[in-house]
Structure 1
Amino acid sequence: MDPILQKQIPYNPLMQKALPGIQPLAMQDWLRPDDVFAAQTAARAQLLDTRREDVLMLDVAAMPAAQELLRMVLAQLYAPDSQQVQPGDGPPVTINWEDPLGTLGRIAQQDFCILEKRGDEHVMTGAVLCFPASWQLAEKFMAPLTGIHTPIASYDASIAARVQRLFDGVQPGRPLWRFNSLWYRDAELHQPRRRYKERDDAFNATAGYMRSEKQMIIRLPETRAVVFCIHTYVLARKDLVAQWGTGPAAEIG
């Protein structure tokens, strides 16, 4: 199967930024499709058909937040009262309110993680994560923010406190975003990796593909849950260089 590759990316992933690198985002931009929308949504549907237990988890208490998220996505990409939609040129998808994350995984290009305040931290209470970049949903589900980011060395106590303040402070209609960047040898979108398994030589600046996630933080106005939304870009080195030049060797977590 040919790799699914974008030809362009709407920001320069080679631009080094200090963590956490957060910027404001216009609400109309958080679900903007790109040139591989149809291919990525088809890949997501296949993963949900064949590996659902790996890519989707939802705590029963997070169902209201998942349904609110589905309403928001429908309103922006399709129509709020849709009963059936057609993503790209793929088959129609029936809206299933009893399976909101499964439905989202088939109608949107992005991955979605739901985080709800439990005690002092936000906890991942649900996610549809078809395109993990070297992590596993099972190891992060129902974990707080500090646990989610273990064992990232740069995610120290100071960064953890700043990120928690961001999740506490983000307001409805005023999303935030950042990006990460890593060179990969393999263009595969579904790349899970266990927490303490060492990265191999796929992660170096001589590899052929740039993988970058546009990571967005959105507050749901009714349930007040926070959504961590991930739009994954994978570009061949030649296409990235054609758009942005060589730049520094990116390895931004």
Structure 2
Amino acid sequence: MTIKLHTPYDGSVQPFTIGLGALDPTGWIEVDDNVAPHLAEKNRLLGERHSDVFQAEDDTGEAQREVLEALLDYLPLQYPALYQAGSGTVTFKPTDTTYKISDFEARPLELAARLIQDDLVLMRSSEGRHRLVAAVLCFPSGWSLKEKFGQAMADVHGPVPGFGPGSRNALLIERIFSNLKPGQPVERYNWSLFDEPRLYYPTTDHAGKSLVNAKGQVSAWIRIERQTLSKLPRSGDVLFTIKICNDPLGVLKRHPDGATLAASMRKQIEDLDAQQLAYKGLTDVHEEVRRELTLIEQAACADLAEI
């Protein structure tokens, strides 16, 4: 396994756009070198903060089982070195962790989420809107499952500039959800800058706090969300998966396209309006971050010139 560096800040998609792309079903779930520590953190959160990270409406049991069954079919096939499905059990081989499926009869989505790095969110159509009806959200990027549970997608996205109720993007998302076809998943990416690579971020309190120290030096992590959307064939619900990747900003110094990527991220930050800067927590630090990206760009260009 390797840790794939996703770069949604490369200019191919602009921030605060939907930016969906077709996804080969064989690439539905990504597993990387961080899978064991990420699953350990999920298990800790599900043990210590269960109601904060797991919520489900009573009538979602069948849809939850549908998700678990899909993963039990998919994971041993795509990652046979990591997963083994037995008679009523599933094993994560790297840590020799075996789960009895019957132990999760009342909450199949929880077992599904314990197997992969992704968080899992089920959206159900109701009166023309898709509502959040079940989720395991261990690695949120600035939002609370308890707060958003039961809400329509437009309300979940309420704080996101350009995505709130009545917005064009909110209407487009509903249309996309309604038009999804089973077996034809799609994916998209978000990126933001955080002060540390912590996985559990249920609030936006990070907002630029420690990206810049007293000397004006930038120390930031690029937090990537890889999101997939799938229509479940039996229930018709939409499954939303979210996988977190944390990369130090300095990774761009070592990337073969680091100069281009740093320049692209800087340009994307420059193009953000005041509301978008505030949402990303960059209002007070965007100038310092842009300056750091310029230095990374220059250093990467100098390294290339020496080759």
TM over 0.5: yes
Quick one: distance in 2 between partners of 1:146 and 1:20? 13
Structure 1 residue aligned with 2:98 = 92
Quick one: distance in 2 between partners of 1:29 and 1:181? 20
- How far is 1:209 from its partner? 0.9
Select 2:246's aligned residue among 220, 224, 234.
234
Quick one: distance in 2 between partners of 1:10 and 1:60? 38
Alignment of 1:1-253 (within 5 A): 8-16=3-11, 17-18=13-14, 19-78=17-76, 82-90=87-95, 91-95=97-101, 96-156=104-164, 157-193=167-203, 199-202=207-210, 206-243=218-255, 244-245=257-258, 246-247=262-263, 248-249=265-266
Which is higher, the Rg of structure 1 or of structure 2? 2
Q: Check the 8 A contact 2:8/2:191 in 1, yes or no.
A: yes
Using the TM superposition, name which of 7-16 and 125-134 deviates more.
7-16
The one-letter amino acid of 1:174's match is: Q
- How far is 1:113 from its partner? 0.2
Compared CA separation, residues 119 and 109, structure 1 to 2 (3 A): same
Structure 1 residue aligned with 2:298 = none
The one-letter amino acid of 1:131's match is: F
- How far is 1:202 from its partner? 4.7
Q: Check the 8 A contact 1:48/1:55 in 2, yes or no.
A: yes
The one-letter amino acid of 1:208's match is: A
Q: Check the 8 A contact 2:195/2:206 in 1, yes or no.
A: no
| Richer in helix (by share) | 2
Say how many residue pairs are matched. Answer: 246
SS at match of 1:153: coil
Q: Check the 8 A contact 1:105/1:128 in 2, yes or no.
A: yes
Quick one: distance in 2 between partners of 1:240 and 1:37? 23
The one-letter amino acid of 2:123's match is: L
Q: Check the 8 A contact 2:226/2:244 in 1, yes or no.
A: yes
SS at match of 1:86: strand
Using the TM superposition, name which of 85-94 and 17-26 deviates more.
85-94
Q: Check the 8 A contact 1:74/1:80 in 2, yes or no.
A: yes
Percentage identity across paired residues of the two chains: 24
- How far is 1:10 from its partner? 4.5
Quick one: distance in 1 between partners of 2:183 and 2:138? 26
- How far is 1:7 from its partner? 7.3
Quick one: distance in 1 between partners of 2:251 and 2:3? 7
Quick one: distance in 1 between partners of 2:253 and 2:131? 38
- How far is 1:15 from its partner? 2.0
Q: Check the 8 A contact 1:183/1:207 in 2, yes or no.
A: no
Compared CA separation, residues 163 and 76, structure 1 to 2 (3 A): same
- How far is 1:158 from its partner? 0.6
CA RMSD of aligned residues (A): 2.4
Compared CA separation, residues 88 and 13, structure 1 to 2 (3 A): farther
Compared CA separation, residues 14 and 82, structure 1 to 2 (3 A): farther
Instruction: With the length of structure 1 as denominator, give the TM-score of the two structures.
Output: 0.88
The one-letter amino acid of 1:59's match is: E
Instruction: With the length of structure 2 as denominator, give the TM-score of the two structures.
Output: 0.74
Compared CA separation, residues 45 and 154, structure 1 to 2 (3 A): same
The one-letter amino acid of 2:239's match is: V
The one-letter amino acid of 1:86's match is: T
Quick one: distance in 1 between partners of 2:93 and 2:226? 21
SS at match of 1:43: helix
Quick one: distance in 2 between partners of 1:14 and 1:241? 15
Q: Check the 8 A contact 1:178/1:214 in 2, yes or no.
A: yes
Runs of at least 5 residues in structure 2 that lack an aligned partner in the other structure: 77-83, 270-275, 281-307
Q: Check the 8 A contact 1:38/1:88 in 2, yes or no.
A: no
- How far is 1:13 from its partner? 2.7
Quick one: distance in 1 between partners of 2:220 and 2:65? 39
The one-letter amino acid of 1:145's match is: M
Quick one: distance in 1 between partners of 2:86 and 2:93? 19
Quick one: distance in 1 between partners of 2:87 and 2:236? 24
